[in-house]
Structure 1
Amino acid sequence: MKLLLDANISWRIIKLVENDFSDCLHTKDIKITQPAKDLEIWEFAKQNNFTILTHDDDFEKLLLLKGAPPKVIILKTFNKNTKQIAELLISKREIIESFISNQDLMILEIY
């Protein structure tokens, strides 16, 4: 599962979820101008077959405007720390895998 974590999600999550999500990158680690702009993140994800993981509703707007790929997972996890978000992602692993493999779905919200 190729997940690209947006800048608004801590890069520390990657270490916490690497056993369940082995192919994760953070936007700070990709070769685009930093700080990364949403459209640049979008294009990188599209060209490299990543699903974007974000808190940012702007990616939902891009998805409606441009269509998939890439797919977008929006975390609606307010007031959760990095460890809690990592645990939530791990607990939703099967749902995330199913979402990514389903060609008919474009967006997934996780609460």
Structure 2
Amino acid sequence: MKILFDANLSYRLVKKLAEIYPECLHVNRTGLPIPAIDRDIWDWGEKNDCIIVTNDEDFLNLSIQLGAPPKVVLLQIGNQSTTQIARILTERFEDIKALYLAEDYHVLEIF
């Protein structure tokens, strides 16, 4: 299960979550221009079989318009520290895994 963290999340999440999500990376490590355009991130995630983790609702809109892949984890948790986001993503591992395996849905919103 590959995880791609959007630019609006800290690159430090990769190190904090490497044990539970060993195939995670931040968008700044994809080779895309910085700042990357949402559609380019979407296309990269699709080509590389990633779940995009973001707090940007534009990815929800792309998911509605284009369907999956990629699948999207939309964090609706307000401003949280990187440590808090890492904790939430660790706690929700089984839900994210279920999203990865699901055929009937492609977005997971975490509140």
| Counterpart in the other structure of 2:41 | 41
| Counterpart in the other structure of 2:16 | 16
| Counterpart in the other structure of 1:51 | 51
The 1-side partners of 2:7 and 2:33 are apart by 13
| Counterpart in the other structure of 1:90 | 90
Percent identity between matched residues is 39
The 2-side partners of 1:99 and 1:86 are apart by 18
Deviation at 1:79, TM superposition (A): 2.6
| Amino acid across the alignment from 2:61 | K
Deviation at 1:48, TM superposition (A): 0.6
Deviation at 1:105, TM superposition (A): 1.1
Q: Which runs of 5+ in 2 are unaligned?
A: none
| Amino acid across the alignment from 1:83 | T
State yes or no: 1:74 paired with 2:91.
Answer: no
Deviation at 1:74, TM superposition (A): 0.3
**TM-score with structure 2 length normalisation?**
0.97
Matches within 5 A, 1:100-111: 100-111=100-111
Could you tell which deviates more after superposition, 49-58 or 73-82?
73-82
Q: Which runs of 5+ in 1 are unaligned?
A: none
The 1-side partners of 2:33 and 2:85 are apart by 27
| Equivalences, count | 111
**TM-score with structure 1 length normalisation?**
0.97
